[in-house]
Structure 1
Amino acid sequence: MGKSRLLKTAFAGLCISILGLTGCSSSPEQTTAAQNTEAQAEAGKEESSNEQSQAQEESSSSKKYVFMSGTMSNSFFIAISDKFQSLCDDAGYSYSVYDCDWDSALQLTQMEDVVNSKPDMIFFVAADVDGAREGLQYAHNAGVPVMVIDNPVPDTDLVISQVASDNYLGGYLCAEALRKDFPEGTAIGVLDMPSNGACRDRLDGFMAGLEAAENADAYVIAGQLDGGGMLDSSIQPAEDILIAHPEIQACFTINGLSAQGFITAAASVGREVPKIYTVDASPDDKEFLLDGTIRFEAAQSPFTLAETCFEMADQYLAGEEIEAEVAVPCYEMTLEEAEKTRGSWQ
């Protein structure tokens, strides 16, 4: 009996030891489950980190661009806005456009609203280049960059760049064409727009082109009035010029809408349309160019202006240096190109 009890006790102790050893170590299934849980946790952390990093990257790449136009009643600015919209859509940027209808006071109010919305970039067309400083100063003080498009302002210290057509060249090309048609000189009517920097440059180029002629004194500006740059506002001053100066055989206008004002005015006063020399080459202008009503047109490209501004804005916001002034060349709109691009801007 004693020996049997001793064997039983030993056997029991062995079993307890074995059970104890088994309890202190994991089975293969338990080890694998723990490892999988740990790996899933790590993967979850990595995925969460990647999502956060991606969200930050998307947030940093999303920008807010605003186009502040002088007017949206001109197909030139509509074409610029449409191109901006397309470029922003492709890049995933926010885009909005403001129209002050050449009202400088309204544009100042709009500027304050735009700046307070904290955009990344403002593309700006001044309603009045001599009255734009207050609005530009407001944006500058708030640290909002402004890039001028089409209509250069004198306040270069408040903008990051100015991108415009080479308007001086456009006017000069008009003068060269007029001189070829009238080598002996002629009386000229002019519709200008003094509040607009681009139009000033066009007129300066036109006058320089006339003065370059050997017989410069033979080219006389018989009548010159502010047409406001729009069709409706150009008709009355064009009528006044034509009535007061029946000797006029040619006219220079600072844009195509003013040229159309001269065409309408000539019909209104019952006289033949003078030979018209202008800058733009809008879809409507091309129809008059093709039928001979407009004699010469220096072309500009709203699409190129918008694309140039957009690219420079991205470069600036990426910390790259950009040019302070960019002049996109104007050129003669030939009848062949007018036919080819009929119905659209170039």
Structure 2
Amino acid sequence: MKKYRLTAWILICVLLLGGCGIIEKQKDSHEPRIFGATYMTRNNPYFDVLHEAIQEVVEANGDILISRNPCQDQEKQNGQILEMIEEGMQVLFLNPVDLDKVRPALEACKEAGVVVIDIDTMVKDMEYVTAAIETDNYQAGVLCAQDMMNRMDHARIVVINNPIQASINNRIQGFMDTVADYPAYKVIAEAGGAGEFEVSADAMAVLLKKNIDFDVVMGGNDPTALGALATLQQYHREDGVLIYGIDGSPDFKSMLKLGYVTATSMQSPKTIGRVAAETAYQYLDGQKVDPYISIEPTLITRENLGDYEINGWQ
């Protein structure tokens, strides 16, 4: 009988403790919050990885992440942000198409009390942003220039940029500033590539028809550099040309392994996405957050390619 009573008492304690756990769990639960995300394009796998990293953190917290793809159209992105505000969005992860023309959407977010976390490339009007997370894009460009200068005593350089994208602007500026005091390295042509493979391929075709002489291509990101490579190969002009990108994408690393391209300054969309989402939650929890978080890039060449997973993102 005593044994029975002891067992019953233990069972009651377990149930009471379990009940306390249930009560505590119910106390900590909340109605799912809506987070929004918009990227300048989903035509670049980089943004898929970035989105997945954010989504993992948001869903682990029991919340919902909705997203939009403006396809490189800022007016469309502004409209989609307004739609997400109407859907009850409380936090926006923003990767703007145009650093300047995104302002109306930023103003709408401020009026609606939506927290804006700027990711990967900066807006012009940073006063509307709670926190910004990106790679040190200027340094990414510096690393490419330094590698080129180590490989060549002189160079004639083609730059393919995207003037409306702050991240690419900063990368190109880092590259240009590094070679500015060395007359042996000349930028002989610039073209807009929109940060996309097809547009950059077409831009390179236009330059080749001008019969300019060059031996280096600096692309604002990996798709830009790979688009240039595709056209150079089509015109049988790739021999002797150094090609630089920025991202560290699987496609670029595959071409690097084959010797078709020269180097890429590595970004980590996984890290950017995770840090952005964690920063958003810290802010929602009332913690003080850093208004700007910069993540250092690393240059990937054939010499150190073995240190990285070729078929995946960092």
State whether TM-score is above 0.5: yes
Q: Which residue number in structure 2 is paired with residue 120 of structure 1? A: 90
Tell me by how many angstroms 1:89 deviates.
2.6
The answer on whether the counterparts of 1:298 and 1:332 sit within 8 Å (CA) in structure 2 is yes
Cα deviation digits, residues 235-291 of structure 1 (max 9, x gap):
111112233244201110001101111111112223225210121110100011111
CA shift digits 1:188-247 (9 cap, x unpaired):
1111000100000001100111125xxx11211111100111111111111122332442
**Paired residues for 1:1-346 under 5 Å:** 55=26, 57-59=28-30, 62-183=32-153, 185-212=154-181, 216-273=182-239, 274-335=241-302, 336-337=304-305, 340-346=308-314
SS at match of 2:310: coil
Change (3 A) 1:291 1:159: same
Q: CA deviation at 1:168?
A: 0.3
Partner secondary structure for residue 309 of structure 1: helix
Higher RCO (Cα < 8 Å, 6 or more apart): 2
Structure ranking higher in helix proportion = 1
The share of aligned pairs that are identical, in percent, is 23
Contact 2:131-2:292 at 8 Å conserved across structures:
yes
Contact 2:57/2:278, CA 8 A, preserved across alignment: no
> For the residues of structure 1 that align with 2:205 and 2:226, how far apart are their CA atoms?
12
Question: Is the partner of 1:67 in helix, strand or coil?
Answer: strand
- Aligned equivalents of 1:321 and 1:149: distance in 2? 18
Give the Å deviation of 1:187.
Answer: 0.7
3-state SS, counterpart of residue 225 of structure 1: strand
**Relative to structure 2, which stretch is displaced further, 321-330 or 234-243?**
234-243
Distance (Å, rounded) in 1 between the aligned partners of 2:270 and 2:211: 38
The answer to whether the 8 Å contact 2:257/2:305 transfers is no
Structure 2, unpaired ranges of 5+: 1-17
Task: Tell me by how many angstroms 1:334 deviates.
Answer: 4.0
For 1:135, give the aligned amino acid. Answer: A
Please state whether the residue corresponding to 2:36 is helix, strand or coil.
strand
Q: Quick check: 2:99–2:122 contact (8 Å CA) kept in 1?
A: yes
Query: Aligned Cα RMSD in Å?
Result: 2.0
The equivalent of 2:8 in structure 1 is none
Please, which runs of 5 or more residues in structure 1 have no aligned partner?
1-46
**Structure of larger gyration radius:** 1
Q: What SS does the aligned partner of 1:264 have?
A: helix
Q: 1:26 matched to which residue of 2?
A: none
Question: C-alpha distance in 1, partners of 2:179/2:27?
Answer: 58
Secondary structure in 1 matching 2:30: helix
Q: Secondary structure at the match of 1:59?
A: coil
Would you say how many aligned residue pairs link Structure 1 and Structure 2? 295
TM-score (norm 2): 0.89
2:100 is paired with a residue whose SS is helix
d(CA) in 1 for partners of 2:281, 2:223: 33
Answer yes or no: is the 8 Å Cα contact 1:166–1:327 preserved in 2. yes
CA deviation after TM superposition for structure 1 residue 123, in Å: 0.3
Runs (4+) of structure 1 moved beyond 6 Å? 47-53
Instruction: Output the TM-score relative to the length of structure 1.
Output: 0.81
Contact kept? 2:77, 2:97, Cα under 8 Å: yes
